[in-house]
Structure 1
Amino acid sequence: MEKAAAVEEEEQEEGAAWAWSWGAGTDGQLGNGGFQDHHLPQPLLFPLRCRGRVSFVAGGGAHAIALTGDGEVFTWGRGTHGQLGHGDMENIPHPKFVKFFENYSITCVSAGWNHSGFATDSGQLFMCGDGSFGQLGAGDNHPRNLPFEVAYFTTKHVVRVAFGMRHSLVLLKDNSVYGFGSARRGQIGRCARNQKFYNVPKLIDGFPNCKIGNIYANGDHSAALDESGQLYIWGRALIGEHDDDRPQPVFPSLSSSQVALGWHHALVLSAGELYTIGAYRHQKLDPHVSSSEPMQRLNPATSSHDHDDSSSLSTLVKVPCVDGDQVVHIAAGTEHSALVTDKGAVFTWGWGEHGQLGLGDTCDQVAPQRVNIGDKRPCSSASVNVYCGSGFTVVVNSGLAAD
């Protein structure tokens, strides 16, 4: 298929009917054609032919990647390290088709602080952007402004990618997990003493005999979810006071279906109910709001560190019910969170300095607040998805039929 001919990059939809963004925008990461913050939802200017076809959006430090259901890729926002993959280092304020992939079908994408990754349907891994911590896996620390294939995986099959601030995780078809990039907090597994980064992929060991279903990363920590719903966490401490360089199973009684990581917190979705873990400045729930909700305490008995167990106690806090609805989709930025209910409503809370909560101001919120998207048509929960970058938020109604 000739994707370059099919994609009209300059043709953009003017109406605000199916994709929105808000928050920090000074690098063009809102995709609305401008370079300024917005405190309320704005139309995200996808090319018209993307309507109803966007299946996933990855938010980075100040850039974003959109993936369509048929494997096309669009990027926008900060490009100063080449992370947009267009062969230059320019900021772009609207989604632009990545021509490099016109003859590939991309199935998975991820965005780190300043780097990007793309997995193909044949299992290849392509990377671009900042490589100063080895997060591109190229064997050096140089940036790349065009996607290149990571040689280490040419004889393997990549199925998932997940990027933190300066590290990268890769899940292979054979169920092995690899990491590369910054290693200081244990986020890419156990490393040689004083090793600050790895610029080639290394196997992350310590998983039990289980089938990994998905991987997650943000900030300096990492997570994985197996097919039974068991959550594993490693890297910078989310639970307790100590970093961990081996995947640790947590909350064994909770069967998790979705996970979203921030810099200092995590969201965990189980049976339509949402929980938070971690200690963080802006998102700690107001005790008066959550006092009626059940709490669960964890003592990670599998900790690899020799310290008093009492220092490892952490609280799993249930997020108050949102108008009695169930939560079907979650997302986390550095210090803000978002969810979609089974009625298609979008809620945000946490850090709001750049307007990333979409509530019309820059205030922080300690409990979920409904965002007025402005779309008057009814939305199915199956079609509304929310995604977070560092200080910005994107919502896509992917259930619309293409024009």
Structure 2
Amino acid sequence: MAISRNANTAKGRFSPPLSVLVFVLLHGKGHHQNLLAKGGASPAVVDWRIQGIWCSGSAEEGRGGPAGFRSESRRGYHPARKARGRRRRRGQGAVVLRHAACHYVALNSDGRCFSWGRNEKGQLGHGDTLLRNLPTVVSKLSKYNIIAAGVGRNHTVVVTDEGESFAFGDNKHGQLGMGSLRSGFTLQELRCQPVPSLVTKATNAICGANFNVWLSSVEGSSILTTGLPQYGQLGHGSDNEYIANVSSVRLAYDPQPNPRAIVALSGKTVVKVACGTNHTVAVDSSGFVYTSGFGGYGRLGHNEQKDEWQPRPVEIFQKNNILSPSDIISAGSASSACTASRGQLYMWGKLNNWGDECMYPKPVRDLSGWNIRCMASGSMHHIVCAHDSCISWGLSEYGEFGYGPT
């Protein structure tokens, strides 16, 4: 998942197994900002200086953080502008989510890492498996300056300012990137507290449901992946399928615990990545877009539903619509999106649950002319920060839009 670093207003809610959307709006000056969460009719403020927030979850299991959330089921068939709050300066907006997770991670301007929500796999990094209803600092990371983080279904990965990476939580598929499923640690240590990943000079970490992607400054290895290879989302040319039980012909997928550079992109410098539940979207320094993984509903943008086991260029963004450094990318549970052509938003995949899927990138005309700074998508709902507004559309069953009681 690609993340913007500043944040201080979060609203949203979901209930598994539905995908989640949590969005963050910024206001205030410099880094002296607070995290604002809407609970009921009045806001609740946590006195932090927040830089970023990575999250998803339902208030019923502690994932609402500082405040609970009310919700109404409603649909927004077209992008709708949310009520404007205090005006935010350019560059101070963020939209973040995790499609399958039930926990949150937040970073403040001092590089401290906070987490809360579900914790049965130790994904909060506190040395236990106790649920946390409130943001709690990850003490094992206190001596590090954390600059980036990602959350998967049951795991968390962080990156320090010195390029180190630490991970905690479920490692069933090797998604922690430690080189093995146990890596010499006891089960309790493995599940409950940060352990180093085998990645050097990391600059960012982005998580899918059960896999992980790192960006690195190492030449020729700018993108590395690890975890579940089932749909080819790791980009290594195989899904590593094998027959686990001959008598029942049960298929399984060999875990990939060693972070490996994607050979197909070794001659390119990958600068941006977004992860869906089981697919990956990457952009190189030339502005070309590549997708890999699960191809259902056309979420890879190739006008077909075939899985891609290694990154395949998205044709429309190889000619006149290459991405600029300021353009953004996003991946939902069953969709993908990016801006190109002077900020025009393009989307593809299953965009809502009442219409046909979009098999290749199409422009969202309703948002033409808007300066879109960041975006995130859940299952069938989407949200962007554009100009000084927060705009959302799709299906909202659990208050994902943040419109408040209706």
TM beyond 0.5: yes
Amino acid at match of 1:328: R
2:364 is aligned with what amino acid? V
Deviation string 1:256-280 (CA, Å, 9 cap, x unpaired) is: 3211101110121223221111135
Indicate how the Cα distance of structure 1 residues 183 and 135 shifts in structure 2: closer, same or farther if over 3 A, else same: same
1:258 to 2:328 alignment: yes
Flag the 1:187–1:128 CA change in 2: closer, same or farther, 3 A. Answer: same
Judge conservation of contact 1:216–1:224 (CA < 8 Å) in 2.
yes
Residue 228 of structure 1, CA deviation = 2.5
Corresponding letter in the other structure for 1:249: P
Is the Cα contact below 8 Å between 1:268 and 1:275 reproduced in 2?
yes
Aligned-residue sequence identity (percent) comes to: 25
**Equivalent residue number for residue 87 of structure 1:** 127
Whole-angstrom distance in 2 between the partners of 1:54 and 1:89 = 32
Which residue of the partner structure matches residue 243 of structure 1? 307
Determine if contact 1:235/1:245 at 8 Å carries over to the other structure: yes
CA shift, 1:64, in A, is 1.3
Tell me the CA shift for residue 285 of structure 1. Answer: 8.6
Larger RCO of the pair (alpha carbons < 8 Å, separation 6+): 2
Indicate how the Cα distance of structure 1 residues 281 and 197 shifts in structure 2: closer, same or farther if over 3 A, else same.
Answer: farther
Partner of 1:306: none
1:149 to 187, 196, 201: 196
Alpha carbons 2:332, 2:377 under 8 Å: kept: yes
Aligned counterpart in structure 2 of residue 275 of structure 1, from 336, 339, 346: 346
Please give the residue correspondences for 1:40-119 in structure 2 after superposition, counting only pairs within 5 Å.
Answer: 59=98, 61-119=101-159
3-state DSSP of counterpart to 2:148? strand
Alpha carbons of 1:22 and 1:158: their partners in 2 closer, same or farther (altered >3 Å)?
closer
Tell me the equivalent position of 1:217. 275
Find the aligned partners of 1:32 and 1:122 in 2 and give their Cα distance. 31
- Residues in 2 aligned to 1:354 and 1:136: alpha-carbon distance in whole angstroms: 31
Q: How far apart, CA to CA, are the structure 1 residues paired with 2:347 and 2:170?
A: 31
- Please give the TM-score of this superposition, normalised by the length of structure 2: 0.68
SS in 2 for 1:26: helix
Q: Which runs of 5+ in 2 are unaligned?
A: 1-34, 74-81, 83-91, 243-252
Amino acid in structure 1 at the alignment position of 2:332: G
Q: Distance in 2 between matches of 1:244 and 1:135?
A: 20
Query: Where in structure 1 are there 5+ consecutive unaligned residues?
Result: 1-10, 42-52, 287-312, 363-403
- Structure 1 pair 122–23 and aligned structure 2 pair: CA distance change class (3 A): closer
RMSD (Å) for aligned C-alpha atoms: 3.4
Letter in 2 for 1:145: C
Amino acid at match of 1:184: Q
Structure 1 counterpart of 2:147, one-letter code: T
Find the counterpart in structure 2 of residue 168 from structure 1.
212
Match of 2:248 in 1: none
Distance 1:266 1:275, change over 3 A: same
Match of 1:391 in 2: none
One-letter code aligned to 1:164: G
The structural deviation recorded for 1:55 is: 7.9
**Contact 2:105-2:149 at 8 Å conserved across structures:** yes
Residue 70 of structure 1 and its aligned partner are, at CA, apart by 3.0
**1:1-400 to 2 correspondences below 5 Å:** 15-16=43-44, 24-34=58-68, 38-39=71-72, 59=98, 61-138=101-178, 139-140=180-181, 144-150=191-197, 152-153=198-199, 156-175=200-219, 176=221, 177-189=223-235, 190-191=237-238, 192=240, 194=242, 195-207=253-265, 209-237=267-295, 238=299, 239=301, 240-250=304-314, 251-252=317-318, 253-256=320-323, 257-270=327-340, 271-282=342-353, 314-322=359-367, 325-342=370-387, 344-360=388-404
Q: In 2, distance between residues paired with 1:346 and 1:285?
A: 26
Query: CA separation in 1, counterparts of 2:136 and 2:93?
Result: 13
Contact 2:70–2:404, Cα closer than 8 Å, also in 1:
no
Moved more, 188-197 or 243-252: 188-197
Q: Is the 8 A contact 1:187 1:221 kept in 2?
A: yes
Letter in 1 for 2:64: L
How far apart, in 1, do the equivalents of 2:173 and 2:56 lie? Answer: 30
SS in 1 for 2:140: helix
TM-score, normalised with respect to structure 1: 0.68
Per the TM alignment, residue 93 of structure 1 is displaced from its structure 2 partner at its CA by: 2.1
Aligned residues: 311
CA offset digits 1:38-88 (Å, max 9, x no partner): 4599xxxxxxxxxxx998866461111112233111112111211111112
In structure 2, relative to structure 1, the CA distance for the partners of 1:80 and 1:132 (3 Å cut) is same
Q: Which residue of 2 aligns with 1:310?
A: none
User: Cα distance, 1:207 vs. partner?
Assistant: 1.6
Task: After TM superposition, give the deviation of residue 281 of structure 1 in Å.
Answer: 4.2
Q: Distance in 2 between matches of 1:54 and 1:318?
A: 22
How far did 1:210 drift? Answer: 2.4
Is 2:44–2:66's contact at 8 Å kept on the other side of the alignment? Answer: no
Change (3 A) 1:197 1:360: same
What is the rounded CA distance, in whole Å, between the counterparts of 2:262 and 2:202 in structure 1?
A: 15
Distance in 1, matches of 2:208 and 2:376, equals 14
Shift of 1:181: 1.0
